[in-house]
Chains A and B, each alone.
Chain A
Amino acid sequence: MKETSKHIKDWKLADNIKTGFTIPENYFTDIEDDFSSKLIEDKLPKHNGFQITKAYFENVENNIIEKTIHKKGKLINFKTRKIKLISVAASIALLLFFGSNFIYNTNTELSSEEIISWLDMNVNSFSNDDIPITLTELNFNDTNPYDIINSEVILESLLNSNDEDFIVENIETY
């Protein structure tokens, strides 16, 4: 047995020297497993039995393209979303401001109906979804709502202005 191993070793060495060919590491140990695998494979079915409709691959291409275009469209609307976000944030800040005054200052002459009506008249409309979205995006731990808009003059100008750039410019300075 020892002699056979030595013979193989010598033969391999000699072959290497002669031809320059090399083999992957563990090739001769793996080949037995590969051979066994092949024998088993021959007995297994070649197809898995899964089917699809003929038109599926044509339709899926269009579906995917449609989805990517849709995503792109959303990106274009970023500025509009930002403006909307600012108006909702401003509304919440106002709500908190008036709300706290209403609760803690008993001398106030503003009723809750008046606040709601003022908001209806002066603030851009926003959907039911906007408030939870804005609340999620705002970090109240880091942000004092009074720091966002801290001048009554600017606040009034912002709410009266229809110029989006003016709003963005002023909000960003605070």
Chain B
Amino acid sequence: MIDEISLVKELQNVQTKQKAFRVLISEYKERLYWHIRKIVISHDDADDVLQNTFIKVFRGIDRFKHDSKLYSWMYRIATNESITFINKRARERNIDISEIKQELVTNLPSDAWFSGNDIQIILQEAVARLPNKQQLVFNMKYFDHLKYQEISEILGTSVGGLKASYFQAVKKIENYIKTKHN
């Protein structure tokens, strides 16, 4: 594990910025990619958003003041970039965000970069039907195994609020799966 404070110092120094940036990408690319992928669903879109996220990190690192942890800050950028991407897609198509999310999941069975079985598709459908906040909390807690405190730092929501959101999300997912099975 790299020392976050010294990495940020190197990133904020013109002489060492490029080298440190490579270390940063290497350390966080996978975690951020999977976080983004679960929001935007398609690999190509996740690739675009991941690259934009790192470019924004590169441009904004000089303004990073350690108000939060580096990874929380990057997760926040990745989350915003992903949501902005989905919103833009919806605007371009002149359809609702929930519709575009449903559409993305409907395309999953024909996606070359998806190998899930029926129950995994149903799970993705259920997740896509959740409101944005519940969807994020569920993905971060269930798939990324983040702690509530970490999610709280990223989303700026209280731990209590997150627990309630997660519980609501899980109940809705269970109900959706039950309905699909019956």
Contact = CB atoms under 8 A, between A and B. Distances in A.
Interface residues of B, number: 43
Contacts of B117: 45, 49
5 contacts: A37-B167, A48-B123, A48-B143, A64-B54, A71-B59
The 7 closest A-B pairs by CB, nearest first: A49-B116, A49-B120, A33-B167, A37-B170, A64-B54, A40-B174, A51-B113
Contacts of B43: 50-52
A25 B120 CA distance: 36
A44 interface: yes
Contact of B21 (A40, A41, A48, A68): A68
Main secondary structure of the interface of A (DSSP, over half): helix
Contacts of A25: 160
A60 B30 CA distance: 10
A30 B116 CA distance: 33
Interface in B1-41: 18, 21-22, 25-26, 29-30, 33-34, 37-38
A26 interface: yes
Contacts of A67: 51, 55
Nearest to A72: B18
Contacts of A33: 163-164, 167
A44 B29 contact: no
B62 interface: no
Contacts of B25: 60-61, 64-65
B121 interface: yes
Interface in B23-73: 25-26, 29-30, 33-34, 37-38, 43, 47, 50-51, 54-55, 58-59
Contacts of A45: 116-117, 119-120, 123
Interface in B98-148: 108, 113-117, 119-121, 123-124, 142-143
Given A57-B30, A57-B33, A41 B170 contact: yes
B166 interface: yes
A63 interface: yes
Interface of A: 24-26, 30, 33-34, 36-37, 40-41, 43-45, 47-52, 56-57, 60-61, 63-65, 67-69, 71
A48 B174 contact: no
A54 B167 CA distance: 35
Contacts of A50: 34, 37-38, 43, 113-114, 116
A65 B21 contact: yes
Contact of B47 (A24, A30, A60): A60
B173 interface: yes
Nearest to A34: B163
Nearest to B139: A48
A113 B175 CA distance: 77
Nearest to A59: B47
A138 B100 CA distance: 40
Given A44-B177, A45-B123, 16 more contacts: A33-B163, A36-B171, A37-B166, A45-B117, A45-B120, A47-B116, A48-B120, A49-B116, A60-B25, A60-B29, A60-B33, A61-B26, A61-B29, A65-B18, A68-B54, A68-B55
